[in-house]
Amino acid sequence: MNRLKKIIRFILIIFALGILVIWGVSIYIQQVTFHSIYENIETLPAKNTAIVLGASVHSDGKLSPILQDRVDTALELYQKGKVKSFLLSGDNRTDDYNEVSAMRNYLLDRCVPEANIFIDPAGLDTFDSMYRSKKIYEIPNAVVVTQNFHLPRTLFIAQNLGLNYIGFPASARQYKTEKGLIRREKLANLKAVFELLLDWTRRD
């Protein structure tokens, strides 16, 4: 019985430490990125490119509410002269699922010239989108548009890749899955740290 108690106590300690690490990393990422996030469009510095991160697309090609909010916000920045072009980064790993084409068509339908729209169909996750914006598309500075809960991790990755990016949150609304996404985001922060460590190892 004493052995069982020790095992349970050990498991509880490990669990508590895990929670502390997750929250600690989350707080740290928020602290080092908050100065790069702008809430007011009037005070947002003008940049050449708005990077819009992909999210789910319905089977009929319509943007999900989360993705539509991102694209609509980036479009508003474009219309107000805060950006001149778009990099749409998302998932197109299969023929029947294409986030970037759905975003592109949405902008074309709203009279954005095709020459101002660039697509990255291999932005499979946040790290890939930021990494490829530097290595493939060579974008030195940009405004990243995504939801408020997603911006800190995105900018943390960008900063540690040496990118001079700022963030602007997509128009706020309540999403059915928002609580789950926020919980997932805390775990994704650990993934971001791991991916950056791997990238630094490869550089060495």
Residues 1-28 have pLDDT tens digits of: 677 666 777 677 777 777 887 888 889 9
Least confident of 101-105, 139-143, 186-190: 186-190
Q: How confident is the model at residue 72 (pLDDT cuts 50, 70, 90)?
A: very high
How far, CA to CA in Å, does 37 sit from each of 44, 67, 127, 169?
Answer: 9, 19, 18, 8
Query: What dihedral angle (degrees, nearest 10) is formed by the CA atoms of 64, 151, 145, 103?
Result: -30
What integer pLDDT is reported at residue 59 of this predicted model? 82
pTM value is: 0.87
What integer pLDDT is reported at residue 13 of this predicted model? 77
CA distance 79 to 83: 8
Task: Say whether pLDDT at 118 is over 70.
Answer: yes
Q: Using CB atoms within 10 Å of the CB of residue 89, give its burial: 0 to 12 exposed, 13 to 18 middle, 19+ buried.
A: buried
CB atoms within 10 A of CB 92: 18
Tokens of residue 204, six digits: 């060495």
Task: Say whether pLDDT at 175 is over 80.
Answer: no
Give ∠ CA 195-31-131 in degrees, rounded to 5.
Answer: 30
Task: Say whether pLDDT at 188 is over 70.
Answer: yes
Task: Say whether pLDDT at 119 is over 90.
Answer: yes
Closest by CA to 149, choosing from 103, 187, 98, is: 187
Average pLDDT over residues 117-137: 93
CA distance 32 to 44: 18
Task: Say whether pLDDT at 204 is over 60.
Answer: no
> Under a CB-based contact definition with an 8 Å cutoff, are residues 64 and 99 in contact?
no
